[in-house]
Amino acid sequence: MRDTLRQRLGWLHTWIGFVTGLLLCVIFAGGTLAVFNTEITRWMQPENSRLPSGLAPSPKALEAARQNLETLRAQGKQPFLSLPSVRDPVLRVLQYDGHEFVGPALDPIDGQRINVRQTVGGQLFYNLHFTLWLGRDWGRRVVDMLGLAMLVGILSGIIIHLRLLLPDLVLFRPFAARARAWLDGHILAGVFFLPFIVGITYTGVIIHAAAVLPDGAAIHRQAGPMPTALKTPQALPSLTPMLTRAEAEFGAGQIGFFLFNPHHISAVRADGASFLMTRDEAEFRYEDGAFLRHVKHIGATTVLSQGFRGFHFARWTPLPLRWLYFLSGLGGTLLIASGLVLFLMRYRRRYGNTISFCLAESLVIAVLVGFVVAALGLFWTNRLLSATLASRVMWERNIFMAIWLFSLLHAWGLVLAKRAMSAWRQQLLAVTILGMGLPILDILTRSSWTVLLGRNIFCAIDCCALVVGMSAKAIHQRLNAPHQT
């Protein structure tokens, strides 16, 4: 009876894992990179690398930001103002362009516009993570459904492996037969990152649960900070007294951004202020900037929802914990990736010559290796494209997509020509070159690299790229070994 249950669950785990795993792998990889989305954006804007972190905005800078905001509002746009934080030291006047939040960065001391290049930055991975670029409504629906499938996959995986969970807890045999080594890796990642994977998937599903409920997407849209455009935008009062008043409510340095709603201005509590992502706000009048009220979101359900958001978005985390989130996300990505590889291994002998298997293998190559090539390609594109290029954000986004699409076509062509291993090898070689070359590119294209050498985000991202490149090289060498063909 028990074996029958395990066999049936095995079938469910295999198929639900593969069908949803391709997209789940992208979602997990995107989310993992989005843990450091602000830092990635900073890497992609090396012009502001000299600014120290954690400076409070001066009255002069806030006045300059106000003028920028008024100019954009007069053009019929709906900007908001992001205040400096420890992670991002500049004032940003942002607006949503349909895909990313873009806009100028201002020096928090004198309000001068920092001549930073426009970039998709880490926001690209963040959007990919929670909408798969399918639009706000459909994207959330699809990602939420995939999250539910992930929970089913996790549950079935736990039941299948339950008997050997404790005895084989730390068992990993990378030098055994390939299928055994991959299965050990799959189980290892699944077991040790289980608390994180279950937690992050569950909270992700719950946060956007409304998207899959009847009329839920519409509710989501109404609840979001998307005010309708005003025909004649009102003049903005001085921001400094409002910030001072809001800080009196929430504490110094605890304000994240200013929103300009149709009927009032909101100074919103920073997401990183505490574990609970409260989005409490202080509201002010447009006419004179007078304080209207303090909006606190309270109640058991609300607090629970804030806790889910705090867990998932991780904006409250100190740096070491942020790295643990990153590594755990990587663990989740490896879990799904190893599952996809195991699927191919299992069915290669019987169905290896069929078109459907070729399609499956090329999709796996494009997701596992092609995504990394495209992500590293984005970093290269960011530095190689002219900093003053018009529609730069669009160029970066399109080049990222083009590289990824090319990776899929490259894999598809070689797999159809019965040269699947060549597809793996060539794309791994691309990862090796792009990853190991990124630190050199960074040094060559960033004037201040000698000043900031040491503990900084540039160094961290370069080191990560180097590790990715070296890992790809190691896998490439292993695939090149004679018995692996």
Partner 1 sequence: MKEFIPTIVLDGAPLWAFITWVIVLSAHAIQQPKICRLLGYNGPVPSGLGKLVLLAAPLMSLALCMTAGPTAGIFYWCGTFSLAGVVTALGLACLQSHR
> Of 251-290, which residues contact partner 1 (CB under 8 A)?
275
Residue 32 phi/psi, 5° resolution?
A: -60, -45
Is 253 exposed, middle or buried (CB count within 10 Å of its CB: 0-12, 13-18, 19+)?
middle
Dihedral sign from CA coordinates of 453, 455, 460, 461: negative
* Residue 176: CB atoms within 10 Å: 12
Asked if 355 interacts with partner 1 (CB under 8 A), we say: no
Among 5, 134, 169, 235, binds partner 1 (CB under 8 A): 169
Dihedral sign from CA coordinates of 310, 315, 321, 326: positive
Only one of the segments 233-241, 327-335, 404-412, 465-473 lies at the binding site for partner 1 (rule: CB under 8 A); that segment is 327-335
Q: The tokens 């001549």 sit on which residue?
A: 115
Tokens standing for 87? 């992670």
Among 175, 390, 481, 485, binds partner 1 (CB under 8 A): 175
Asked if 96 interacts with partner 1 (CB under 8 A), we say: no
Please report how close the Cβ of residue 167 comes to partner 1 at its closest, in angstroms. 5
Among 173, 296, 346, 478, binds partner 1 (CB under 8 A): 173
> Of 97-156, which residues contact partner 1 (CB under 8 A)?
none
Nearer to partner 1, 291 or 316 (CB): 316
Asked if 308 interacts with partner 1 (CB under 8 A), we say: no
Distance CA 10, CA 162 (A): 12
Asked if 29 interacts with partner 1 (CB under 8 A), we say: no
Asked if 320 interacts with partner 1 (CB under 8 A), we say: yes
Residue 258 phi/psi, 5° resolution?
A: -105, 130
Name the residue among 367, 351, 352 with its Cα closest to residue 420: 352
Only one of the segments 38-46, 121-129, 167-175, 341-349 lies at the binding site for partner 1 (rule: CB under 8 A); that segment is 167-175
Only one of the segments 59-67, 100-108, 192-200, 476-484 lies at the binding site for partner 1 (rule: CB under 8 A); that segment is 192-200
Specify whether the CB–CB gap between 160 and 14 falls below 8 A: no
What stretch of H or E contains 268? strand 265-269
Asked if 321 interacts with partner 1 (CB under 8 A), we say: yes
Please report how close the Cβ of residue 188 comes to partner 1 at its closest, in angstroms. 5
How far separated are the first and last CA of the chain, in Å rounded? 40
Specify whether the CB–CB gap between 106 and 90 falls below 8 A: yes
Count of residues that bind partner 1 according to CB under 8 A: 26
Only one of the segments 29-37, 76-84, 188-196, 296-304 lies at the binding site for partner 1 (rule: CB under 8 A); that segment is 188-196
Among 47, 168, 247, 249, binds partner 1 (CB under 8 A): 168
Please report how close the Cβ of residue 103 comes to partner 1 at its closest, in angstroms. 32
Asked if 195 interacts with partner 1 (CB under 8 A), we say: yes
Distance CA 435, CA 379 (A): 10
Name the residue among 268, 264, 129 with its Cα closest to residue 201: 129
Asked if 171 interacts with partner 1 (CB under 8 A), we say: yes
Nearer to partner 1, 421 or 464 (CB): 464
Specify whether the CB–CB gap between 407 and 366 falls below 8 A: yes
Asked if 296 interacts with partner 1 (CB under 8 A), we say: no
Report the interface residues with partner 1, using CB under 8 A. Answer: 167-175, 188-189, 191-193, 195-196, 275, 317-318, 320-321, 324-325, 327-328, 331
